Amino acid sequence: MRKNLISVPEFDGLPAPVYFRYAEFDADSHAVSHQHAWGALDYVASGVMRFEVAGRRFMSPPQYAVWVPPHTEHSAYNAKAIVYRSVYLDAVHCQHLPREPVTLAISDILKSILSDFARRDIHIPQSEADIRLAQVLVDQLRLAPVHQCYLPYASHPGLQRVLEALQAQPGNNRPLGQWADQVHVSERTLARLFLRELGMSFGEWRQRLRFLAAIEALEFTRSVQEVGFDLGYSTSSAFIAMFQRQAGCTPEQYRRQARHP
């Protein structure tokens, strides 16, 4: 079945120094590879968006956004339906933002401004109050903690095979030693590969993967306990604790918030 194609804005020039875009994209939708002269903050208020930016893969949960600098090739894919927010910034506003694609941690203030503008369908701030809010948003972006990628990927072939198998089955509880046997390296070597190539341990990477899978699963009517069991947790309390560490709220709280992003 052919994927739903996401239309890409075709401005001759950015309509305003700070421009806001909002959309809801269906499952199995994608944006073809493109670039533009302005920077873009791509944020998902509900769901998980997958990006490829300058040859690197990014996955963006609601606590993070992907920063795409001007003139940077990027594309996107959504396995599940998402609620999308984007902020386009002209070259002047990009001067104090990263020159490489990165993940930015999104503050509550920034989320609130995006939510407010989306609710009022503000694309170009016009009133003095909205112009001030847009400036606060830009200031918040400049202060946002930078992460290279929420869920990084590997170049090592053996490590890639492990990551792909985990993505296909996030609830797989196979320990690191068994994965090492599968790709014919020692457990210590595989642990070092995780730290060297991904900047985190096997356990941390798998937990982040399960968190992203949980966000998508919570869009449906399955119970929190069922989602947790599907993702390899023996008790719902263990799953809820993991989710709360990653999201700052419980799965049920997230589910309620996702209905009113």
Mean pLDDT across 130-145: 96
Q: What is residue 3's predicted lDDT score, i.e. its pLDDT?
A: 64
Which residues are CB-contacts of 149 (< 8 A; sequence separation ≥ 6)?
A: 56, 57, 58, 59, 102, 103
What is the spatial distance between Cα 155 and Cα 230, in angstroms, rounded to a whole number?
A: 28
Summarised one tens digit per residue, pLDDT across range 191-210 is 999 999 999 999 999 999 99
The answer to whether residue 258 scores a pLDDT higher than 80 is no
Q: What is residue 10's predicted lDDT score, i.e. its pLDDT?
A: 79
Neighbours of 46 (CB within 10 A): 22
Summarised one tens digit per residue, pLDDT across range 18-52 is 999 999 998 899 999 999 999 999 999 888 888 99
The answer to whether residue 62 scores a pLDDT higher than 90 is no
The domains spanning 4-147 and 157-259 adopt the same CATH topology: no
Could you tell me the pLDDT band of residue 215, with boundaries at 50, 70 and 90? very high
The answer to whether residue 238 scores a pLDDT higher than 50 is yes
The answer to whether residue 190 scores a pLDDT higher than 90 is yes
What is the spatial distance between Cα 175 and Cα 239, in angstroms, rounded to a whole number?
A: 18
195: DSSP letter: I
Mean pLDDT of the chain: 92
What is the spatial distance between Cα 178 and Cα 170, in angstroms, rounded to a whole number?
A: 15
Q: What is residue 235's predicted lDDT score, i.e. its pLDDT?
A: 95
What is the spatial distance between Cα 58 and Cα 89, in angstroms, rounded to a whole number?
A: 20
DSSP E strand boundaries for the chain? 4-5, 18-25, 29-34, 39-46, 49-53, 56-60, 64-68, 74-78, 82-89, 102-105, 146-147
Q: pTM for this structure?
A: 0.84
The answer to whether residue 2 scores a pLDDT higher than 70 is no
Could you tell me the pLDDT band of residue 232, with boundaries at 50, 70 and 90? very high
Q: What is residue 149's predicted lDDT score, i.e. its pLDDT?
A: 85
Q: What is residue 1's predicted lDDT score, i.e. its pLDDT?
A: 44
Q: What is residue 166's predicted lDDT score, i.e. its pLDDT?
A: 96
Which sequence spans correspond to the domains of the chain? 4-147, 157-259
In terms of C-beta distances under 8 Å and separation of at least 24 residues, what long-range contacts does 228-234 make, across chains too?
229/171, 230/171, 231/170, 231/171, 232/170, 232/171, 232/172, 232/173
Angle, helices 202-217 vs 236-247, to 10°: value is: 100
Summarised one tens digit per residue, pLDDT across range 156-183 is 999 999 999 999 999 999 999 999 999 9
Q: In angstroms, how far is CA 224 from the centroid of its own chain?
A: 21
Top pLDDT among 96 and 258 is at 96
Q: What is residue 261's predicted lDDT score, i.e. its pLDDT?
A: 64
The answer to whether residue 115 scores a pLDDT higher than 80 is yes
Question: Would you tell me which CATH number, out of the four given (2.60.120.280, 2.60.120.20, 3.30.1280.10, 3.30.70.20), belongs to the domain 4-147?
Answer: 2.60.120.280
Helix (H, G, I), strand (E, B) or coil at 33: strand
Could you tell me the pLDDT band of residue 260, with boundaries at 50, 70 and 90? low
What is the fold of 157-259?
A: Arc Repressor Mutant, subunit A (1.10.10)
